[in-house]
Structure formats: structure tokens, C-alpha cells
Structure 1
Amino acid sequence: MKKTWFFIPTLYFAEGLPFVIVNVVSPVIYTKLGVAENIMSFYTGFLYLPWVLKMFWSPLLENKSKRSWVLGTQLALSAVFVLIALSFQLNNYFLYSLIGFFTGAFISATYDIATDGYYMLALDKKEQAFFVGIRTFFYRLAMIFASGILVMIAGVIEERTGNIPLSWTAAMFIASGVFGLFFVFHIFILHKERIEETVKNNTVFTNFFDSFKAYFTQKNIVIIICFILFYRLGEASFEKMIPPFLTSARELGGLGMSTKMYGFVKGTIGIISLMAGNILGGIALSKYGFKKCIWPFVIMLNVPTVFYVILAIFQPGALVTAALLSFEQFGYGLGFMAFTVFIMNVSIASKYATSHYAISTGIMGLGMMVPSMLSGSLKMALGYTNFFILACFLSIPSFLLIPFVLKIYKGLEGGALHNAD
């Protein structure tokens, strides 16, 4: 287990880093580079697609060395971030950087599959249980590094040079360097895992299609899918608009934050609050159970959306903004833990637990992608205040679904959910 401590933190830090850069940092980059909000949100929302679809190519990694895939995708990500960095120096930077981000998204989703596979094959059951919290912690640290520290570094360079493209070129070179170091480090530290060669490829695909059929023929599947799609609809509808709202000039309806301040408030304090919500949410769920926690958690997830309405109307200073955003992120951390517990229990109730969890997370990604793609056009039509009011109303389906979800969860406890197993 001592050696495991050397690679689990770095593997999962490396898993979180590209996801956050592609989905969270790219809207900040394009906002600072002056890309229109409707264009920015549409194309950065589309970047979720590889995580939605990764379940379809995950069987291709069966019977293959996960160590080789981990190393190969880390090297590829290092190269992709170099290309993204260089693209910001070109006149047609938007097209070339977007191609780079989409390529990075595809590689990152593949890296997720390889890393989780390596985790399950290289560690025994006892080690897997022990390191589950450790890997989550370092994934969250990657979120702070990417959306906090990298953004602040870009902000400092922007302030000192006045060159916004240069600031993001430097940030992407740093990301590339981190992956290059991980690649070299993991060559020496990752031991070869066992490969399940007894499973034939045709069996893998047969099992996949069987699991897919079982998922969509289970009882209450319509409610389950609706919950996965709409539980976070309010948050999904405005996520991509947070960077332009916080950084746009006050006369344009924004809060006028500098890039450096955005990285500190949203990318550092906000993520720490999110982590606190995750931790306390997990403790509460383990102590009191899903049925007692779901209502307060769904309230904490959605009600703080009204904070953005308040911010848009009153345009307060950085201190008040940081306090409200921290509380909103803390509530999101609580709410997301309840969501995770539900889809995990839906998955565990089936004999295809791993595949069903992958399908659920793919549907979750779709539920984030589509509202994100539309958010910029809605904001440009409504303005910030009315747009955030709309986001509050879009939270209503989350509340309406809870009574049905509680009935399903009661069936899960009784073992009556999956009629296809």
C-alpha cells in the first residue's frame, strides 16, 4: 500500500485537471478574449459530449493494458495543451483552440476510463475502499489548481503585460508541463496491472448491450432519467454564464472582476466551499440516510440560485460576492452528494453496476450539455437579471421530482427496482 500512495494522488489529480480546463476554464478564456456569449456557451457546452458518449467506447479498452492507456493519454494531453497554447497566438484562435479543446476532451474522457480501470485492477478490494476518499480529494485539488491557480497566474500575466492571449498561452503551457511531468513520473512508478485476458471482446460487447437493455427496461426508468436530466437544470442553465457575469464591466451588467480575482473567488474559495459541501453532505447522508437528507439538500442546491439575481440587481463588491458564491457552492456540494448517492444506488441494484453507473453519468452529462449550449443566447435575449430569474424557475422540476424519487428509493431498499436482472 505504501507504493500506492505515490500514484493514486497523481493519477486522480491528472484526471480532474483536463476536465476542469476544458469545461470550466475554457469559458473564462473565451470571455476574456472577447468571444460573444452565445457563441462561447454553445461551443464550450458542446465540449461535454465526449463524457456523455465515453460509455460507448469504454469496451474497446477491455483486455488492454490500462497502464499503457494511462501513459499514452497523459502524453497526448501534454501535446494537446501545447497546441492549444500556441493557438491563442493565431488570428483564427477560436477555431484552432476549440479543435484542441475537443480533442483534449476526447482524450481526457478516455483517460478517465483507463485510470478507473487501472484503479480496479492494480489495487485489491481493501486498497480500493481505503483510497476512494483520497482519489476524490486530489481530483478536487485539481479543480482548485485549474480554475483557481492557473486562472490567477493568467490574471497576473494579463495585468503585467496587458496581453490577454499571452496570459492564456502561458497557462496552457503550464498545464502541458504538468502532464509531461506526470507522464515521466508514472513511467517509473506505475506497476503493470493484471489483464483479464479470459474475457473475449465479443463477450465484452454482448455484456455491454445486455447492460444497456437492462438499464432502459428497469422499472421507473422514465422518472430515473428525468431526475438525472432535470435535478441540476437550474445550475446547468447558468453555469457557462458565470465567467462573463463576474468579469464583464459593471455598465454591461457584470461585476467587473479581474481575471485574478475571478480565479481567487470562484476558482479557489468557491471550490473549497464545494469540497466542504461534499464532505459534510457525505457525512450527513451516511448518518441520516437519503430519505431524510434529500429535501434539505435539494433546497440548498437550488434556492441559492436567487443569489445571482441579487448580485445582478445590486452589483455588490468582491467581499459580498465571494460570501454569496461560497454559500451557493457549498449548497451545490450538498445537493450533488444526494444526486450521486441516488444514481449509485440505482446502479448497485443491478448486476451491471459499473455499466449502469456509466450510463447514468453519461445522461447526467447530457443534462448539463444542452442547457449550457443554449444559455448564452438566452442571456443575450433577457439580460443578466431576467436570465437568472429564469434559472430560478428552471429549478422547479428538481423539487417536483423528489416525491417520485423517494418512492423509487424505497423500492431500491426493498430490492424491487430491476425487473430485468
Structure 2
Amino acid sequence: MTVDKNSRLIEAQTAHDPVWRWIPSLYFGQGIPYVAVMTLSVIMYKNMGMSNADIALYTSWLYLPFVIKPFWSPFVDMLKTKRYWIVTCELVIGALFGLVALTLPLPAFFQTSLLVFWLLAFSAATHDISTDGFYMLALEQHQQAAFVGVRSMFFRISMLTGQGALVYLAGTLKDLTGNVAFGWSVVFAVLAVMFIGLSAYHRWALPRPDSDHAQGDPAHVMATFFQIFSAFIKKKDIVLGIAFMLLYRFGEAQLVKMAPPFLLDSLDKGGLGLTTQAVGVVYGTVGMITLTIGGLLGGALIARSGLKDCLWPMALAINLPHLVYVYLAFIQPQNIYLISAAVGIEQMGYGFGFTAYVLYMIMIADGEHKTAHYAICTGFMALSMMLPGMFSGWLQASLGYAHFFVWICVAAIPTFIVTALIKVDPAFGKKTDETDETD
């Protein structure tokens, strides 16, 4: 008989199950610092008058901790428990959010807040390592499978909260007070209180699994890491695999840095002149919802047809919708529903196409050391966003928005080249009849 195992397992859980006390809050807490560092910082600096070139260059550097986190993940394993790291990191993140709030009214706010964002990025990356490790230690294997959808959903809710509600709040406070810095200071103060409270809550709610203890010998940790990294480099066709991971999102990595400034910039500067609140709704809410829908559709299609058959449709889906930004930049429409639809189309295409990227990383990591190798892949994933993002602001300032978005469409060529060259097992990712069979 065919049965959906994961759905059955979740239905078997009740609201009184202790697991429900911490998985939603833990993954909501994982997403908020990331969206604050990568998206809120961009919108905030744009509101406060920074140039697109400076915004893109300096905020792209904030990806670096996520690029190199595999290098210090062994030390997280070696020192203290994952539970300790989670509670401590959340307390530190709360304090750093408070520091951001305090730096914004200062004359040198840009330099000082960037320094705090750097510390936030390192804390968030460390929190990621400990959170994912704790998830695997605290749950049985069948629970890990059953709750993967729950953790993903609450991570997405954190994205909606950050890019939608918090951006809307900042814009509303700016309009009420006429003070941009005050509005964003309040937002980060709210986040500070949230994370200090979250740290206290998780100190109570997180279980204490026997398997959660310091692991590894300092004398052997680095030797083990280099052995694992060497095994990764020796994988078949790994150079082509790394090229795919770096270039598949080449256009999107540039677009994502300039999309919020484009929506915010005035018409005479080539933008759409939306209010901060409108950006929170259009980009942070509509965009995030359609991104999630695209990801769900992509996962369902790969499960039915396999990664190989879906690769080209998904490569096209992640690039062709960039044409909507060309349209928006040349026409500069003022209809909020049309703008929302255009942004939604682009984000749905990205969510749909990104599914192939994630599954390809899983395929690359498969085999011995799959957890460590997947962490290395996520480092390349962050690098693929960091490097193109760094020069995107300068390029936009040189070309103007309209021609910059034309360039983004041209930037699909490297994606198509690596998509044509990589080799994928036709059966990989496809759901077989045995997947759903139970005894």
C-alpha cells in the first residue's frame, strides 16, 4: 500500500510533543539573522542614502562567513555542546542587533554598523552549524525526515517576517517621524529583544540529548578536515561541479543586490519610486510567497521526472524571468499590482530553478562524508552569491538600471554553458515506487 510516510509521522505528533516546542522557534531563529544581514542591510542602507556601488560591494562581503563556515565547523564540534552554541549564539545575536540599533544615529553609521553586521554574519553562520547539527542529534532518523518540511516552513516564515513585516515597520516609522535612522533603530531593537528572549526560551525548551557533547581531538581535527576536503576534491568531474555551483546563479546573484534599490530609487534615477512599505509588500511578501511556491513546484517535478530531465527547464526558469526587470526598467510602470506580478513571476522562477541547484549539491555530496561535503558545497553556494554581488552595484551605476538588467539577461550564458556540460544520473531525485511502499 502506498503511504506518505512523512505526513503520517507528523500527524502522529500532537501539540503536546516536546519536539514542537523547539523546532519551529529554532528554524525561525535561524532565518532572521540571515535575512537581516543579506536583505535588511541593503534596504536600510538605501533608505539612508548610500550609493548602490557601496551597498553591493560591502554587503556582498557579508557572505564570507557563510563561505568559510565549513572551515570552523570542526571547532564547533570540538568545543562545548550544540545546545550551548545555539543558546549562546542567540544571546550574542540579540546583543549585536541592539548594537546595530545604537550605531544608526551616529555620524559614522555606515562603517560602525557594517562592523556589527560582520560580527552578526559570523554569529549567524555559527548558529547555522550548531542548529543543523543539533537537529540531527536530538531527533531519530524518522523524525528528521518527518519534520524537514516543518523546519523549512518556519525558515520561510522568518524570511516573510524579515523582508515583509520588518521592512514595512521601518517604512511606517520613517513616515510617522520623518527620521529614517529612528525607524530602522526600532526595527533592530525589536530584533534584539526577540533574540534575547529566544535565547532564554531555548535554554528551557531545547532537550539535552546524550549524543550532544564535545567531539574530536584538537590534535586530529584539522587533519581529519583536510582528509575530508581532499576526498571532496578527488570526486569525479569535481572541477565542472564547482563551476556549476559558482555560475548557475551568475545573473541572479547580481540581480538580488540591485532589485530592492531599483524598487526604491526615484523615477528620475531610473527606479520605480516605491515606498519602503511597498517594497516590504511587493518584494518581501509577494516575492517570498511566490519564491516558496516555485520551490514546492520544483521539488514535485523533480520527484516525478528526476533531476536530469528537469535541469534545462529549471536553468531557463531561473534566467528567463529576468526579462520582467528589463520591462520594468524601460517602462517604469506605477501600477503596484503590475509591479507585484512582475516581481512574483521572477521570484517564482528563481524558486523553481533553484531546486535543481540544491539537488545537484546533494548529488555531489553523496557518498562518504556526505554531511561534511554538503557543508563544503554550501560554501561554494555562498561564494557564488558573494563574488558577482560585489561588482553588481558598480556595474549598475555605470550602465543605469535598464541596461544593467539587459546585462543580467546576457549573464545567463555562463549558466547555460555549465548546464550543458555537467553530467547527471537520470534516476537521481526521481521518486520510485519503492519510496512509498511500506511493509
Task: Please give the range of the TM-score, normalised by the shorter of the 2 chains.
Answer: over 0.9
Equivalent residue for 2:95, pick from 57, 60, 79: 79
CA shift, 1:217, in A, is: 1.7
Query: Taking structure 1 as reference, are residues 198 and 19 closer, same or farther at Cα in structure 2, changes over 3 Å only?
Result: closer
Equivalent residue for 1:329, pick from 332, 335, 347: 347
User: 1:221-270 CA distances to partner (integer Å, 9 max, x unpaired)?
Assistant: 11101100000001011211111100011011000000000001000110
The answer as to 2:345 corresponding to 1:345 is: no
Equivalent residue for 1:26, pick from 34, 41, 46: 41
- The alignment covers a number of residue pairs equal to 411
The answer as to 2:117 corresponding to 1:101 is: yes
In structure 1, C-alpha distance between the alignment counterparts of 2:207 and 2:235, rounded to whole Å: 39
Equivalent residue for 2:416, pick from 399, 405, 419: 399
Secondary structure of the corresponding residue to residue 294 of structure 1:
helix
CA shift, 1:409, in A, is: 3.4
CA shift, 1:197, in A, is: 5.6
In structure 1, C-alpha distance between the alignment counterparts of 2:344 and 2:221, rounded to whole Å: 44
Secondary structure of the corresponding residue to residue 193 of structure 2:
helix
- Residue in structure 2 matched with residue 127 of structure 1 by the alignment: 143
Query: Taking structure 1 as reference, are residues 196 and 100 closer, same or farther at Cα in structure 2, changes over 3 Å only?
Result: closer
- Residue in structure 1 matched with residue 104 of structure 2 by the alignment: 88
The answer as to 2:265 corresponding to 1:248 is: yes
CA shift, 1:160, in A, is: 1.0
- Residue in structure 2 matched with residue 36 of structure 1 by the alignment: 51
Equivalent residue for 2:25, pick from 1, 5, 10: 10
Secondary structure of the corresponding residue to residue 271 of structure 2:
coil
Q: Which residue type is aligned with residue 46 of structure 1?
A: W
CA shift, 1:203, in A, is: 3.9
User: 1:373-399 CA distances to partner (integer Å, 9 max, x unpaired)?
Assistant: 101110111111111111111111111
The answer as to 2:290 corresponding to 1:290 is: no
- Residue in structure 1 matched with residue 62 of structure 2 by the alignment: 47
In structure 2, C-alpha distance between the alignment counterparts of 1:281 and 1:410, rounded to whole Å: 16
In structure 1, C-alpha distance between the alignment counterparts of 2:156 and 2:428, rounded to whole Å: 30
Equivalent residue for 1:270, pick from 280, 287, 294: 287
In structure 2, C-alpha distance between the alignment counterparts of 1:199 and 1:95, rounded to whole Å: 38
TM-score normalised according to structure 2 size: 0.91
TM-score normalised according to structure 1 size: 0.95
- Residue in structure 1 matched with residue 197 of structure 2 by the alignment: 181
Runs of 4+ in 1 over 6 A off after TM superposition: none
Deviates more, 1:227-236 or 1:204-213: 204-213
CA shift, 1:200, in A, is: 3.1
In structure 2, C-alpha distance between the alignment counterparts of 1:45 and 1:207, rounded to whole Å: 31
The answer as to 2:162 corresponding to 1:146 is: yes
Query: Taking structure 1 as reference, are residues 219 and 92 closer, same or farther at Cα in structure 2, changes over 3 Å only?
Result: same
Gaps of at least 5 residues in structure 1 are: 414-421
CA shift, 1:296, in A, is: 1.2
Q: Which residue type is aligned with residue 36 of structure 1?
A: S
Q: Which residue type is aligned with residue 345 of structure 1?
A: M
The answer as to 2:357 corresponding to 1:360 is: no
Q: Which residue type is aligned with residue 389 of structure 2?
A: S
User: 1:170-191 CA distances to partner (integer Å, 9 max, x unpaired)?
Assistant: 1101111111121111111112
Please tell me the root mean square deviation across aligned C-alpha atoms, in Å.
1.4
Q: Does the CA contact (< 8 Å) of 1:45 and 1:370 recur in 2?
A: yes
Q: Does the CA contact (< 8 Å) of 2:262 and 2:270 recur in 1?
A: yes
Q: Does the CA contact (< 8 Å) of 2:253 and 2:389 recur in 1?
A: yes
Q: Which residue type is aligned with residue 298 of structure 2?
A: G
CA shift, 1:198, in A, is: 6.5
Query: Taking structure 1 as reference, are residues 81 and 271 closer, same or farther at Cα in structure 2, changes over 3 Å only?
Result: same
In structure 2, C-alpha distance between the alignment counterparts of 1:296 and 1:335, rounded to whole Å: 8
In structure 1, C-alpha distance between the alignment counterparts of 2:284 and 2:56, rounded to whole Å: 19
User: 1:55-106 CA distances to partner (integer Å, 9 max, x unpaired)?
Assistant: 0000001143110000000000000000000111111100111011110000
Gaps of at least 5 residues in structure 2 are: 1-12, 430-439
In structure 1, C-alpha distance between the alignment counterparts of 2:376 and 2:387, rounded to whole Å: 17
User: 1:104-155 CA distances to partner (integer Å, 9 max, x unpaired)?
Assistant: 0000000000111111111111111111111011011000000110000001
Q: Does the CA contact (< 8 Å) of 2:83 and 2:212 recur in 1?
A: no
Q: Does the CA contact (< 8 Å) of 1:346 and 1:412 recur in 2?
A: no
In structure 2, C-alpha distance between the alignment counterparts of 1:339 and 1:20, rounded to whole Å: 20
In structure 2, C-alpha distance between the alignment counterparts of 1:242 and 1:21, rounded to whole Å: 16
Secondary structure of the corresponding residue to residue 208 of structure 1:
helix
Q: Does the CA contact (< 8 Å) of 2:33 and 2:120 recur in 1?
A: yes
In structure 1, C-alpha distance between the alignment counterparts of 2:144 and 2:256, rounded to whole Å: 33
Q: Does the CA contact (< 8 Å) of 1:62 and 1:204 recur in 2?
A: no
In structure 2, C-alpha distance between the alignment counterparts of 1:375 and 1:61, rounded to whole Å: 34
Q: Does the CA contact (< 8 Å) of 1:342 and 1:409 recur in 2?
A: no
In structure 2, C-alpha distance between the alignment counterparts of 1:329 and 1:48, rounded to whole Å: 21
In structure 1, C-alpha distance between the alignment counterparts of 2:401 and 2:368, rounded to whole Å: 46
User: 1:290-322 CA distances to partner (integer Å, 9 max, x unpaired)?
Assistant: 122111111111000111111000001221110
The answer as to 2:220 corresponding to 1:209 is: no
Deviates more, 1:103-112 or 1:183-192: 183-192
Deviates more, 1:395-404 or 1:265-274: 395-404
Q: Does the CA contact (< 8 Å) of 1:281 and 1:334 recur in 2?
A: yes
Secondary structure of the corresponding residue to residue 107 of structure 2:
coil
Q: Which residue type is aligned with residue 278 of structure 1?
A: G
